[in-house]
Structures are given as C-alpha cells and as structure tokens.
Amino acid sequence: MMNRRQLVCTAGAALLARVPKALAATYDLIIRGGLVIDPSVGLDAVRDVAITGGKIVAVDADIAGDATETIDGRGKIVAPGLIDIHTHAGRNKEGPELALQDGVTGWIDAGSGGADNIDQIAAVARGAPQTGRALVNISRTGVTPGGELHDINNANVALAQGAIARNRDVVVGVKARLSENVASANDLEALRRAQEAAAPFNLPVMIHIGQTVSPMRAILPLLKRGDIVTHMYAPAPNGILDDQGRLFPDVTAARRRGVIFDFGNGVADHFDWPTVERAVKQGFWPDTFSTDWNVMSKTTGVVDFPNVISKFIMFGMPLSQVVACASVNAARVFPSFDNRGTLNLGAPADVAIMELREGMFEYLDNYKSTRTGRQRLFPAGTVLAGKRVRRA
C-alpha cells in the first residue's frame, strides 16, 4: 500500500508541506462544536457540521477527518440559513450582500416593484449571492410612499401578468398592500385583481393588512391555501383581534385552511406590543417571521433578522420554534426554497451562525414603545453554498 510516508520519502520535504495536506482534507468546511438547531429534522444538540461541494455531508458529534477550513462553533447556535419572506432587498443592488451578513441566505422582495419597475428588482435578485425572489406588486407602480392603490386603475391585471411572464425565474407571487393609507376603499377589489393576476401561474398572494377599510371577515375569504398575511399583528382598526382583544374566529379558520400568517416587523403601523401579547396568549404565533427589511433597517427597530427573531424569544417562544419560523417554515411557503431551511444531508450548505447573548436588550414596536428582553440573538457568521461569507 502506498502511504503518505513513502510519498514523502520519494518526493521530499517540500512536497510534504504543500500537497499531502490538500490531498488529505476530507471535507471543504467543518463547523465544529456548535449547538445545532435544525427543526426540519428535530435536532437540537451539540454537533459538528461537515460540508463538501456546497452540500451538507455530515452532521455528527466529533466528526473525524480534517477540512480545508474550520469554523469554531463552540458557544454559538448553528442553524439553517435564515429565509426572510418579506423584505425590500431588491431595491438596492447592495441590499442582498448586507442581508447575507445577518445570516439571510434567502429572501423575498415583497412588492417593491410592480409591472412598471419589477425588471430592476428582478435584475438585483438575479445578481444576488443568495436565492432572491420577488412578489410583483398588483399596482403597476410598486410601493409608493403616498400609497399605490388609491387609484384602482393602477391594479392592472394584464400588466401584472406580463411582468410575471417575463420574470418567471424571479417572480414567485403577487403582493397587495391593503391599508387605508395605501388603498383607500379599494382593498377588496385590489385583492381580487391580485388573485386574478396570480391564478394562471398558480402563485400565492401576499397581503399586507392593518388599518384597512374592510374587516378581516371580508378580506380573509378572498385568500386561498398558501396565501400569506403579513403584518399579522397590526393594531386596529380591522386587525386580527376584536374590540375585546379576542382573535376573530375567521382568523383561526383561515390558518386551519392553510393561509400563512407572517410577522412582518416593518417600521410604522405594522405591530404593537399589546396586539402581539394578546394574540400569543391565545396561541396565535407567527408561521414565519420577516423583517420588511431594507438597506436602512440597521437604524430602525428592525436592526437585523436575528433581532426581529429575538422579540419572540422575549415572549417565550422556544428556540427551536423560533428557528423553525425563520428557516424551514419560510422555505415551505415558496417552492424556490424547497430544499432549503434545513441542514439535512444533501441539502445546500446554507448556514446561519448566531450567538445568543444574555443581558438587557431593548426591543422596539412600531409605536416607539420598547420592551426589555433578557436574550438577544446576534449574527455571528454565514455560510452560503458551503463557503464562509467574509465580513464586509
């Protein structure tokens, strides 16, 4: 048998220093000794994670063999790469890189662009390092500060369908913002048109609720299985709670028939602490978290995706559930992510490394009200397609 010693004898010391090590590396990358939380397989234990060829190839205690690169995961949480289903990461070409620093290895731009400007968003998505997708706004203008649906003629079904047809690789759904300050009394008609645009492509619709003209009992019947309600904890008028703070039966019924309820942190009008508290006390937790992130979010109550997640740790959501909402649950909403949100063997090696710190952390709602939590997740490293992402 030809062994390493014989090779050294014949080739000399210089070769020993260089080639054999490279030849001998068993894996491309090993993340050693982290607390691996992978709800997709029910794992919550200290493990090593080995990666080769951009795929997860082993998750075990004390993996033998070496790697070209090793990350020390001790004291850290090693989770599937985070998937943020409501962002505006497609607005700026530097957005995707910034989100990646926070552990976000998949994102959806939720309605920044409509038929008139979705092509720019799609170009950013195609150029992103991670998987970026977009929802086309049912308003041809995309999101506009003054509200894009006050004129219902902006909700042009044929134009939206054209936008989907020419961006099939990126556009994975339709977005409609239904608040009174966006849509006046056009909320239901805008949603009907969003469904009409999505139907031939069999795509979901995401609606943004809160302070709508119409009540949830009128809006929810227009949603089908797999559609998404974002800003789920938006306060009255016309949120998910009645005047006594009880969940509307229509809301729990919608969840039972497969409508997804998404947090959608945002900045203004999208959630307040009392609504979150009342809803979670009735067991109505998010299916998915999302940030409503954009490149300015560091300076708002969003900060980063791990910060948004930490708000639910404060409300007592178990860590494995928290990670599920930010990874596997989100991956299941859009087929583009269907082999992601997991560290299962063979999956693309997208990993979010986070640090759970103890202390006093102030969290902001959208009404300048703070609550103090005793734990906060911080981004501590990202691996994308098996490669460590360097800090910007």
User: C-beta of 206: minimal distance to Zn ion in Å?
Assistant: 9
Segment contacting Zn ion by CB under 5 A, of 19-27, 42-50, 95-103, 292-300? 292-300
* Integer Rg of the chain from CA: 23
Nearest Cα residue to 98 out of 289, 288, 298, 290: 298
User: C-beta of 208: minimal distance to Zn ion in Å?
Assistant: 6
Closer by beta carbon to Zn ion, 95 or else 381: 95
Closer by beta carbon to Zn ion, 272 or else 292: 292
Closer by beta carbon to Zn ion, 59 or else 308: 308
Per-residue binding letters, 163-202, with Zn ion (x by CB under 5 A): ----------------------------------------
Nearest Cα residue to 308 out of 349, 276, 340: 276
User: C-beta of 290: minimal distance to Zn ion in Å?
Assistant: 9
Work out whether 350 is an interface residue with Zn ion (CB under 5 A).
no
Q: What are phi and psi of 337, to 5 degrees?
A: -105, 15
User: C-beta of 291: minimal distance to Zn ion in Å?
Assistant: 9
Q: How far apart are CA 113 and CA 126, in angstroms?
A: 15
Beta bridge partners of 107: 84, 132
Q: Which of 48, 148, 292, 304 binds Zn ion (CB under 5 A)?
A: 292
Q: What are phi and psi of 163, to 5 degrees?
A: -65, -40
Segment contacting Zn ion by CB under 5 A, of 38-46, 185-193, 290-298, 383-391? 290-298
User: C-beta of 353: minimal distance to Zn ion in Å?
Assistant: 27
The beta strands (E) that lie in 39-140 are given as: 43-52, 55-60, 67-72, 77-80, 82-87, 104-110, 131-137
Residue 355's Cα: distance from chain center in Å? Answer: 18
Segment contacting Zn ion by CB under 5 A, of 19-27, 114-122, 291-299, 352-360? 291-299
Closer by beta carbon to Zn ion, 133 or else 388: 133
Per-residue binding letters, 221-240, with Zn ion (x by CB under 5 A): --------------------
User: C-beta of 86: minimal distance to Zn ion in Å?
Assistant: 6
User: C-beta of 136: minimal distance to Zn ion in Å?
Assistant: 13
Closer by beta carbon to Zn ion, 288 or else 342: 288
Q: Is the separation of the CB atoms in 353 and 291 below 8 Å?
A: no
Closer by beta carbon to Zn ion, 52 or else 294: 294
Beta-carbon contacts of 384 under 8 Å, excluding residues fewer than 6 positions away, are 81, 100, 105, 129, 130, 350
In single-letter form, the type of residue at position 176 comes to: A
In single-letter form, the type of residue at position 292 comes to: D
Residue with nearest beta carbon to Zn ion: 292
Segment contacting Zn ion by CB under 5 A, of 92-100, 215-223, 287-295, 379-387? 287-295
Using CB under 5 A as the binding criterion, the count of chain residues that bind Zn ion stands at 1
Nearest Cα residue to 215 out of 192, 196, 187, 256: 187
In what helix (H) or strand (E) does residue 113 lie, and over which residues does it extend? none
User: C-beta of 234: minimal distance to Zn ion in Å?
Assistant: 12
What is the secondary structure of 322-391 as a DSSP string? HHHHHTHHHHHHSGGGTT-S---TTSB--EEEEEEEEEEEEEE-TTS-EEEEEEEEEEEEEEETTEEPPP
User: C-beta of 111: minimal distance to Zn ion in Å?
Assistant: 6
Segment contacting Zn ion by CB under 5 A, of 12-20, 133-141, 289-297, 372-380? 289-297
Residue ranges that bind Zn ion, judged by CB under 5 A? 292
